[in-house]
Structure 1
Amino acid sequence: MTSTLFLRCVALPDHERRQAVARWQREGHPVRLSQPSPQARFIAFQAQGCHGSWQGMIGAREWLQAVGPQWSQWLHQEGADQEILELFSAVSRPIEIAPDLLDYQRLFEFRLIQGEALQEACLPCIGTPQSDLWVMEGPSQRKEPSRPLQAWLQAVPQALRIVLGNSELARLPSRQLAKGDVLVIAEQTRQLFMADLCIGQFTFVKEGLHMQLTPPDNPSPSAPCVLSELPVKLEFVLGELTLSMATLNEFIEGQVLPLEATVASNVEVRVGGKCIAVGELVQLGDRLGVELREVGQGMGNE
């Protein structure tokens, strides 16, 4: 008997757009998902900023009405959209955007597109003084701002490795180690490691060890603790079964372990053996993902 686990497919572009809108909203920006009108014509462009390149578009006629209402007679002339495109591309900064939302030093590769060509896509929409701006593709090199440790993350166990130093076996008197040998620590590093990353150093004091954490790059009064930069290993658990050895042997011989129909809807996300969230197993492009449905008590929603 064979069975197939059918997973709900999540389109990767849609997922990335929802994540971008959620991130901007957390940062306090009035961004929403919106579907551009299929009847409108838009000026699409590439932008280059400090976070890399991104793609956007803005309604051609809406932009002209906002920046030059005295030129509104153009809107009734044949070929008006092309003239608006040329005017838009000639202005050094045709759109005003909050720099901490989206920045750009220059715009290029201007073109006109019809709304119906977007196939009813919902795009991140930003209100600007000129008109609504739709983000077709987000910044290519955007870096998430560092934030303090969340309450749930503070409870995650991490092993602190206290390393005195190192030596090379080739430099020892003999590679054959025996009881009573004394190994010399050739290089005393006195480093502290968590998650296989060096987080600082230590010195010996009367009370024990004095730890000195490595400061973050470009430290400032508002810089986060270095521990907030540590990677956290997530474990995705599809299920757990308590089986006798006899039952387990039957499964091994048959090579098929039957699963409950609801198992894909209740995948646990664990950190250090602790369940921090529950979600549904989905197909995200060509990869598997877990779409969170529940986040444990005291844990921040992301």
Structure 2
Amino acid sequence: MTSTLSLRCVEPLDYERRHAVARWQGEGHPVRLSQPSPQARYLAFRAEGCHGHWQGMIGAREWMQAVGPQWSQWLLREGVGQEILDLFSAVSRPVEIAPQLLDYQRLFEFRLIQGEALQGACLPCIGTPQSDLWVLEGPSQRKQVSRPLQPWLHAVPQALRIVLGNSELARLPYRQLARGDVLVIAEQTRQLFMADLCIGQFTFVKEGLHMQLTPPDNLLPGDPGVLAELPVKLEFVLGELTLSMATLSACIEGQVLPLEPTAASNVEVRVAGKCIAVGELVQLGDRLGVELREVGRGMGNE
């Protein structure tokens, strides 16, 4: 048995780039991961848009041939750099990008980058009419997209708390409770709570309770994203052992608890005791994380 748990390290920047590509692809955008050519020069810039700042770069030769083929041979000679930057910064919209993907109101901090300085880097790559655009750093403010619940999430249990109302203990005689006392509900709220959030109210009807959902801001009643806004508490389970009290006492006293060799590769993600996913325990920068391998396990995958 090793003295410490050996975990696979996941670089946060690489993960963010892979996750961004997967998210964009899920929204229907033709984005891919690609390595810039070490032999090429790139026009790099910072951008500011409605979703914050981001950084990108575009091939200098391809961009010049697209916007000014008559100058491309002269401007792309060795030693000519500032002229290209001046031309790029002078164009009002030097790069055309689908606004649903990435937007910008202005570009600034222009510079030239040699491809060899990025050797080995795998970056999100977006096709544009001018040239491929590589995203060096994603938007500082991630675009929020409201989506309906995944089919398997409908099976995740959540406790619904039905609250009649409240009173203040200070208003009760002597502030003491005894058997036979009748506590008056001073304020009848008749609220419904799920995940510690008020999701609506109810009224009494002959059949039972009539519920009226109150959706979060910017959502309409009946919107499939209403319940998706509720927080879900995840529990990460490294393993389970069946031990006698004697064995457990010895483990506690000796500060050693045995684990299966494959425990770190089979961490269960649970909600209210139900396993919803399985993954591998990894080191993500200075934090622990679980890289999912199976999602919706035992609940009907989408």
Q: TM-score, normalised by structure 1?
A: 0.93
1:60–1:85: 8 Å Cα contact kept in structure 2? no
1:195 to 2:190 alignment = no
Q: Distance in 1 between matches of 2:222 and 2:25?
A: 21
**Residue 158 of structure 1: how far off its partner (Å):** 0.5
1:153 to 2:159 alignment = no
Partner of 1:132: 132
Partner of 1:299: 301
Q: Distance in 1 between matches of 2:220 and 2:236?
A: 36
Q: Distance in 2 between matches of 1:51 and 1:41?
A: 28
Partner of 1:261: 261
Q: Within 5 Å, which residues of 2 pair with 1:189-228?
A: 189-219=189-219, 223-228=223-228
1:98 to 2:98 alignment = yes
Query: For each residue in 1:165-213, what CA deviation from the matched residue of structure 2 results, as whole angstroms up to 9, or x when unmatched?
Result: 2222223333112223222222222111101111111122222211111
Q: 1:51 to 1:131 in 2, by over 3 A?
A: same
Q: Distance in 2 between matches of 1:274 and 1:204?
A: 32
Q: Which consecutive residues of structure 1, in runs of 5 or more, have no partner in the other structure?
A: none
1:284 to 2:284 alignment = yes
Q: 1:197 to 1:288 in 2, by over 3 A?
A: same
Partner of 2:23: 23
- Comparing 27-36 with 167-176, which one deviates more in the overlay? 167-176
Q: 1:80 to 1:222 in 2, by over 3 A?
A: farther
Query: For each residue in 1:8-36, what CA deviation from the matched residue of structure 2 results, as whole angstroms up to 9, or x when unmatched?
Result: 10001001110000000111111011111
2:163–2:192: 8 Å Cα contact kept in structure 1? yes
Q: Distance in 2 between matches of 1:221 and 1:45?
A: 43
Q: 1:65 to 1:242 in 2, by over 3 A?
A: same
1:10–1:284: 8 Å Cα contact kept in structure 2? yes
**Residue 260 of structure 1: how far off its partner (Å):** 2.4
**Residue 215 of structure 1: how far off its partner (Å):** 2.7
Query: For each residue in 1:31-82, what CA deviation from the matched residue of structure 2 results, as whole angstroms up to 9, or x when unmatched?
Result: 0111111222211111111111111111122111111222223245454332
Q: TM-score, normalised by structure 2?
A: 0.93
RMSD of aligned residue pairs (Cα, Å): 1.9
Question: Aligned residues: percent identity?
Answer: 85
Q: 1:20 to 1:274 in 2, by over 3 A?
A: same
- Runs of 4+, deviation exceeding 6 Å: none
Secondary structure at 2:204's aligned position in 1? strand
Q: Distance in 2 between matches of 1:158 and 1:208?
A: 20
Secondary structure at 1:174's aligned position in 2? helix
Secondary structure at 1:141's aligned position in 2? coil
Query: For each residue in 1:218-239, what CA deviation from the matched residue of structure 2 results, as whole angstroms up to 9, or x when unmatched?
Result: 3469943411111111111111
Q: Distance in 1 between matches of 2:222 and 2:175?
A: 50
Q: Distance in 1 between matches of 2:21 and 2:79?
A: 35
One-letter amino acid matched to 2:9: C
**Residue 2 of structure 1: how far off its partner (Å):** 6.3
One-letter amino acid matched to 1:23: R
Q: Within 5 Å, which residues of 2 pair with 1:221-236?
A: 223-236=223-236
1:216–1:223: 8 Å Cα contact kept in structure 2? no
Q: Which consecutive residues of structure 2, in runs of 5 or more, have no partner in the other structure?
A: none
One-letter amino acid matched to 1:144: Q
- Comparing 119-128 with 65-74, which one deviates more in the overlay? 65-74
2:219–2:226: 8 Å Cα contact kept in structure 1? no
Query: For each residue in 1:109-152, what CA deviation from the matched residue of structure 2 results, as whole angstroms up to 9, or x when unmatched?
Result: 11222222224211100000010111111111113311111121
2:202–2:210: 8 Å Cα contact kept in structure 1? yes
Query: For each residue in 1:265-292, what CA deviation from the matched residue of structure 2 results, as whole angstroms up to 9, or x when unmatched?
Result: 1111112211122111110000111111
Q: 1:76 to 1:224 in 2, by over 3 A?
A: same
Q: Distance in 2 between matches of 1:221 and 1:114?
A: 53
Secondary structure at 1:154's aligned position in 2? helix
Aligned length: 300
